[in-house]
Amino acid sequence: MTADALAARIRHALGLDRPMTPARLLRDALVLLGIIAAVTYWVYLTNGGALPVDVHYYWAADPKNLYPHPEAGEGNGYNYSPAFEFVAGWWRSIPFEVYAAIWRAVLLAMLVYLAGPFTLVALLTVPVASEINAANIQIPLALAVVLGFRWPATWAFVILTKLTPGIGILWFLLRREWRHLTIALGATAAIAAVSFLLMPDAWFGYLRLLTGAPAPAVAPYYLSFWTRLPFAIAFIAWGAWKGKRWPVVVGATIALPVYYITSSAMFVGVLPYLRQGVGRLVERRFGPRPADASTSASDPAMSLDSNR
């Protein structure tokens, strides 16, 4: 690649090769405001104004005894498959404060990517703010679902962590997208197999965890998984019928094994589709814009989903 071609790509990535419109100016200002809010919140949390309970479970987990309690939910803390060690385990030797700061920074970066101009609004909601504080994985799950329509292998992260939101791959089955379904399941099986070879005892412990007791229905909603499951399937099936992708995010969120106050943070996966809808509304209201200034071209999350 020549220097000119590289420079052109950088300009395109930054949006510098597209005309400035009032709508784009407002969007970019809101994105910048969201980034400032995210950085400010990260500084606040990093300087001690926080309670990083979930990420502490990941950092403090003993690889030789990942599941010290037989029940799922709050009693255990680390409720994911041993494959999660590929994400959380290999770098836990660093100080916890650094570990938590990095984890939260990654969550905030994912939030900005998904929410774009809605980042500030998302951060002001209790579930998202609490999710960043506790540093769980609802936002990475949302990102994995959104990316999974283009790169189905990301569903492996969903299935090998929270497991039950993986019901979202029914979308591929119902739409007979066999290649995508095969990739999603194949990637999951491959990662699980490697993990099993490295940690067979941990996998037996994980299976005991899954079969030992039902996931609890906890405050503030007290909705069991089986109560929520029909609604999750209904959203996914409707999305497959209509060819829409955002209902899969909703269905996968509803299908989380345990539904806490922070669980709703996973709904940030709907925001890329909301951004598309707002972009179309702006076009209808103010007239067509140049193709190179469209929402789908200028927003990275938009280009993943082909106006669905």
pLDDT at residue 296 is higher than 60: no
What is the rounded distance in angstroms from the CA atom of residue 261 to the CA atom of residue 119? 19
pLDDT at residue 214 is higher than 80: no
Residues 6+ apart with CB under 8 A from 272: 114, 116, 146, 299, 301, 302, 304, 305
Mean pLDDT of 146-151: 96
In a domain, 119, yes or no: yes
Query: Which amino acid is located at 77 in the chain?
Result: G
Range of the domain at 214: 21-304
Q: 44-48, 188-192, 218-222, 300-304 — which is least confidently predicted?
A: 300-304
The angle subtended at Cα 307 by Cα 116 and Cα 165, nearest 5°, is 75
In a domain, 3, yes or no: no
* Residue-level pLDDT at 11: 63
Give the closest residue to 239 by CA, choosing from 221, 229, 222, 252: 252
Domain count, the chain: 1
| Per-chain mean pLDDT for the chain | 86
What is the rounded distance in angstroms from the CA atom of residue 151 to the CA atom of residue 22? 33
Render pLDDT for 16-46 as a digit per residue (tens, 0 to 9).
Answer: 556 667 777 888 889 999 999 999 999 999 9
Q: How many CB atoms lie within 10 A of CB 243?
A: 9
What is the rounded distance in angstroms from the CA atom of residue 62 to the CA atom of residue 64? 5
- CB-count burial class (<10 Å; 0-12, 13-18, 19+) for 8: middle
What is the rounded distance in angstroms from the CA atom of residue 132 to the CA atom of residue 295? 27
CA 277 to chain CA centroid, Å, is: 20
In a domain, 40, yes or no: yes
The angle subtended at Cα 196 by Cα 192 and Cα 201, nearest 5°, is 135
* Residue-level pLDDT at 91: 92
pLDDT at residue 305 is higher than 70: no
* Residue-level pLDDT at 49: 67
- Answer with the residue of higher pLDDT: 100 or 69: 100
3-state secondary structure of 62: strand
* Residue-level pLDDT at 297: 35
pLDDT at residue 144 is higher than 50: yes
pLDDT at residue 197 is higher than 50: yes
* Residue-level pLDDT at 210: 87
Mean pLDDT of 83-90: 94
What is the rounded distance in angstroms from the CA atom of residue 234 to the CA atom of residue 237? 5
In a domain, 72, yes or no: yes
Render pLDDT for 245-260 as a digit per residue (tens, 0 to 9).
Answer: 999 999 999 999 999 8
What is the rounded distance in angstroms from the CA atom of residue 38 to the CA atom of residue 35? 5
Query: Which amino acid is located at 277 in the chain?
Result: G
CA 156 to chain CA centroid, Å, is: 12
Confirm if 52 and 100 have CB atoms less than 8 A apart. yes
In a domain, 9, yes or no: no
* Residue-level pLDDT at 71: 60
In a domain, 8, yes or no: no
In a domain, 267, yes or no: yes
Residue 288 DSSP class: -
3-state secondary structure of 289: coil
pLDDT at residue 155 is higher than 50: yes
What is the rounded distance in angstroms from the CA atom of residue 39 to the CA atom of residue 43? 6
Confirm if 302 and 147 have CB atoms less than 8 A apart. no
Q: How many CB atoms lie within 10 A of CB 14?
A: 9
Mean pLDDT of 82-90: 94
pTM: 0.87
R_g of the chain, CA atoms, integer Å: 20
